[in-house]
């Protein structure tokens, strides 16, 4: 934290020495205009957090479904997972977002349309589920086969073995990695602003249009995301210690 303070102070002092006419009052909470601007910028915080949480939960569910074909004895079924993962990991998030929001509705002649929030969730879920499915796979493979065989010897059906023995242990193993993907989703959610979602980034862009202060507003936006990510990272580290396998 001290390093960040020193770095920010150095940036501020350096900026003041330049030829640019800085207007830091525009993000000063003790200045009337700055207070109004900050209130407007923070107004997009809930949207950013909400779309990230919804996307993470749905991506975790879809990722589990996508990873199941990995454990089939049939190569044709296993290829389903491979095709899905390769496709959605290869497509850039922004390109996928634009295709879903602008391109997909045209296939149905305008009969299908998404609002920015829904289009953003679909995009993040499809993209992230491809990565999360691999996290599930590694977690499931990390479980000792002896435990699975012991459960089967007790007469449990394969589905019950998976739900009662394999999955609970796998979730414990992958929880820290899953939360790290949540942080990644939080950062990637800023891309949804290009289609009009009123998140932190969109609010910053709208404010710049009226204030003509890009450096000051974007500096505050950087600070917002920095605080969010640092808080999220703190809880992830706590989870890593809690779920540490000994």
Q: For the chain, how many structural domains are there in total?
A: 1
Domain assignment present for residue 18? The answer is no
Q: What is the pLDDT of residue 4?
A: 54
Domain assignment present for residue 227? The answer is yes
Q: Which tokens in the block code for residue 191?
A: 């891309």
| Distance separating alpha carbons of residues 42 and 51, to the nearest angstrom | 15
Domain assignment present for residue 10? The answer is no
| Distance separating alpha carbons of residues 186 and 60, to the nearest angstrom | 14
Q: What is the pLDDT of residue 17?
A: 52
Residue 41, Cβ density class (10 Å: 0-12 exposed, 13-18 middle, ≥19 buried)? buried
Domain assignment present for residue 164? The answer is yes
Domain assignment present for residue 99? The answer is yes
Domain assignment present for residue 15? The answer is no
Q: What is the pLDDT of residue 7?
A: 56
Q: What is the pLDDT of residue 8?
A: 54
Domain assignment present for residue 69? The answer is yes
Q: What is the pLDDT of residue 234?
A: 92
Domain assignment present for residue 162? The answer is yes
Residue 145: CB atoms within 10 A of its CB come to 8
Please state the pTM of the whole predicted model: 0.86
- Which domain CATH number covers 80? 1.10.3720.10
Helix (H) or strand (E) holding 96: helix 93-98
How confident is the prediction along the chain (246 residues), in pLDDT tens digits per residue? 555 555 555 555 555 555 677 788 889 889 999 999 999 999 999 999 999 999 999 999 999 999 999 888 888 888 999 999 999 999 999 999 999 999 998 887 767 888 999 999 999 999 999 999 999 999 988 888 888 788 788 777 878 888 888 888 888 889 989 999 999 999 999 999 999 999 999 999 999 999 889 999 999 999 999 999 999 999 888 887 877 655
**Residue ranges making up the domain that contains 60:** 34-242
CA distances from 113 to 23, 99, 118, 167 (A): 41, 12, 10, 36
């Amino acid at each position: 934290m001290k390093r960040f303070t020193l770095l920010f102070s150095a940036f501020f002092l350096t900026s003041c020495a330049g030829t640019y006419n800085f207007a830091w009052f525009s993000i000063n909470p003790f200045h009337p205009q700055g207070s109004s601007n900050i209130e407007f910028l923070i107004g997009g915080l809930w949207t950013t957090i909400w779309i990230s949480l919804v996307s993470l939960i749905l991506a975790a569910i879809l990722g589990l479904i996508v990873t199941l074909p990995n454990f089939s004895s049939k190569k044709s079924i296993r290829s389903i997972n491979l095709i899905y993962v390769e496709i959605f990991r290869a497509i850039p998030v922004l390109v996928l977002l634009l295709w879903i929001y602008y391109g997909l509705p045209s296939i149905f002649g305008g009969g299908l349309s998404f609002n920015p929030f829904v289009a953003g969730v679909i995009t993040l879920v499809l993209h992230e589920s491809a990565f999360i499915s691999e996290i599930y796979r590694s977690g499931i493979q990390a479980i000792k086969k002896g435990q699975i065989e012991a459960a089967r010897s007790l007469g449990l059906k394969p589905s019950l073995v998976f739900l009662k023995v394999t999955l609970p242990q796998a979730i414990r193993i992958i929880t820290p990695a899953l939360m790290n993907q949540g942080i990644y989703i939080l950062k990637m959610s800023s891309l949804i602003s290009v289609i009009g979602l009123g998140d932190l980034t969109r609010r910053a862009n709208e404010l710049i249009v009226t204030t003509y202060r890009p450096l000051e507003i974007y500096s505050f936006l950087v600070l917002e995301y920095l605080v969010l990510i640092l808080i999220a990272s703190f809880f992830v580290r706590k989870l890593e210690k809690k779920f540490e396998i000994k």
